[in-house]
Amino acid sequence: MGGAVSAGEDNDELIDNLKEAQYIRTELVEQAFRAIDRADYYLEEFKDNAYKDLAWKHGNIHLSAPCIYSEVMEALDLQPGLSFLNLGSGTGYLSSMVGLILGPFGVNHGVELHSDVIEYARQKLDFFIKTSDSFDKFEFCEPSFVTGNCLEISPDCTQYDRVYCGAGVQKEHEDYMKNLLKVGGILVMPLEEKLTKITRTGPSAWETKKILAVSFAPLIQPNHTDSGRSRLVHLPPVAVRSLQDLARIAIRGTIKRLLHQEAMSKAGPGLKNPPRFKRRRVRRRRMETIVFLDKEVFASRLSSPSDDNNNSEDLEEERREEEESKPSELKPDPPVNFLREKVLSLPLPDPLKYYLLYYREK
């Protein structure tokens, strides 16, 4: 499933293409997608395909196409402090992007059928927290994953503000999924070959919207034990943060505000805030169609009437871009993590500094 947008050369260009095609429409969703490199969730030997708008599967590991994740993120209408349940959480890629929006006081839970995928997701989460340059730009709601069949969730579980199911839901399980929602909550799931958004407007009232046609593998039915009883899935408890953790969040937030004020004072009056993410201009691309007929291959090139008029302009723009992209004799300095620099300069014991930095490696 996928292929709706052109392939990108890197994560930023993939996001540019998703924006141009109107799959990403809001700033919060764009920031989350730019903050986490999709290639980090691929096995090393498959990373060349990471920026294509295609699903990827290897064994039990699976990623949906970027255009699908974009539509899901937009439909969930995420906000800081909400609770989120990801059914079929897989690699944790989507859960981590959601966590960047939920912030430190949200709830971020995932249920995954395969224990090896849970282990893979935890490794990727640990890698993101320890090494990603994006981590210090956000306050993160770390996802918690449990193993089990999402159709066997304990009936006494808490309800959630937002729920996503990453597998095809049969019609007989629609009410089961709806009951996981709080009033006012949003459920997004593939239902009858359509990505569907369901909003709970009252205890027994619902609004349903079909978003787009999709093709997902169906949910795997529960495999009952020899005794005939199902294995209930118990979701992680919603724990209250410790005073120590709350202090870390508050200190980091205060330092970020001070750094922002310093940057604004240096910029001077009358200047707008600098963009948080560097945008890249999207080139026009000709679409090529390859048709397979029996054992022969026919390739055709489709272009709009304006392509011929703009061809020379595009070539000139590409030439200028290539000139600008040539490496200079002096390599640019790597970006500075100002939060990290500020914490390390504080007159505090080293263990406390490392705690404030979440023991990150860089």
**Does 292 fall in a domain?**
no
Q: How many domains does the chain have?
A: 2
Return mean pLDDT, the chain.
85
For residues 200 and 64, what is the distance between their CA atoms, to the nearest angstrom? 26
* Whether 249 and 211 share a structural domain: no
* Whether 99 and 164 share a structural domain: yes
Residue 300, pLDDT > 50, answer: no
Amino acid sitting at position 247: A
* pLDDT tens column, 105-125: 999 999 999 999 999 999 999
Residue 278, pLDDT > 70, answer: no
| Closest-CA residue to 217 (of 62, 58, 46) | 62
* Whether 128 and 191 share a structural domain: yes
Of the pLDDT bands very low, low, confident and very high (cuts 50, 70, 90), residue 240 is confident
Residue 288 is inside which H or E element, if any? strand 287-293
* Whether 114 and 185 share a structural domain: yes
* Whether 235 and 261 share a structural domain: no
pLDDT at 360: 86
Q: Which listed residue (6, 64, 70, 96) is catalytic?
A: 64
**Does 276 fall in a domain?**
no
**Does 326 fall in a domain?**
no
* Whether 235 and 257 share a structural domain: no
**Does 172 fall in a domain?**
yes
* Whether 176 and 216 share a structural domain: yes
* Whether 75 and 93 share a structural domain: yes
* pLDDT tens column, 148-185: 999 999 998 999 999 999 999 999 999 999 999 999 99
**Does 234 fall in a domain?**
yes
Known active-site residue 64:
yes
Q: What predicted TM-score, i.e. pTM, was given to this entire model?
A: 0.80
* Whether 216 and 250 share a structural domain: no
Task: Name the H helices within 138-225.
Answer: 174-178
**Does 176 fall in a domain?**
yes
Q: Which domain holds residue 30?
A: 11-222+230-239
| Closest-CA residue to 85 (of 217, 219, 177) | 177
Residue 102, pLDDT > 70, answer: yes
Q: Which residues lie closer than 8 Å to 349 by C-beta, 6 or more apart?
A: none
**Does 351 fall in a domain?**
yes
Of the pLDDT bands very low, low, confident and very high (cuts 50, 70, 90), residue 324 is low
Select the highest-mean-pLDDT range: 82-86, 229-233, 280-284: 82-86
* Whether 156 and 217 share a structural domain: yes
Mean pLDDT (whole number) for 215-225: 85
Residue 54, pLDDT > 50, answer: yes
pLDDT at 299: 41
* Whether 30 and 153 share a structural domain: yes
**Does 37 fall in a domain?**
yes
* Whether 147 and 247 share a structural domain: no
Three-class SS state of 200: strand
